[in-house]
Amino acid sequence: MKVDFNQITPIYIQIADAIENDILDGILKEGDKCYSQLVIAKELNINPATAAKGIRLLVERGVLDKVRGQAMTVKEGAMAEIRNRKVEETLGEILHTLIKEALRLGIGEEELISKVRAAMEEESKEKHG
């Protein structure tokens, strides 16, 4: 897990995002035990309370299950929850910016769609080698 101490985003949010990325990448699977606050704190050399805050955020987001006396586990449906939220938040923001800029540059819908398709094909080739 990596965090950027120079980034404006608070560390606890970076921790939550990093755990979500591990879930999306299949490193943590639904039903798996999540990293403990002490493990995270030791790995990142931070206060355990900061790590706990990141984990609590994931409980609030509906990604982790908090079972009294046991480790936090990745909730069933967590991957779909993360994906849906990221599509709405991140992708929605990027699309809004992209469309606004395309309109400013006089790029029509068909041309923009064509450019997006070409970029996706290129990215897919790079990813699959």
Specify whether 28 is located in the same domain as 67. Answer: yes
Q: Give me the phi and psi of 65, to 5 degrees please.
A: -100, 135
What pLDDT is attached to residue 64? 96
Specify whether 121 is located in the same domain as 85. Answer: yes
pLDDT tens, residue by residue, 44-63 = 999 999 999 999 999 999 99
pTM of the predicted model, to two decimals?
0.77
Say if 42 falls within a structural domain: yes
Residue 70: pLDDT band (50, 70, 90) is confident
**End-to-end alpha carbon distance in the chain:** 26
Longest Cα pair distance anywhere in the chain, in angstroms?
Answer: 59
Specify whether 87 is located in the same domain as 108. Answer: yes
pLDDT over 70 (residue 129) = no
Specify whether 89 is located in the same domain as 40. Answer: no
pLDDT tens, residue by residue, 11-47 = 999 999 999 999 999 999 999 999 999 999 999 999 9
Residue 1: pLDDT band (50, 70, 90) is confident
Domain that includes residue 55, residue range: 11-74
Question: Domain count of the chain?
Answer: 2
pLDDT tens, residue by residue, 95-122 = 999 999 999 999 999 999 999 999 999 9
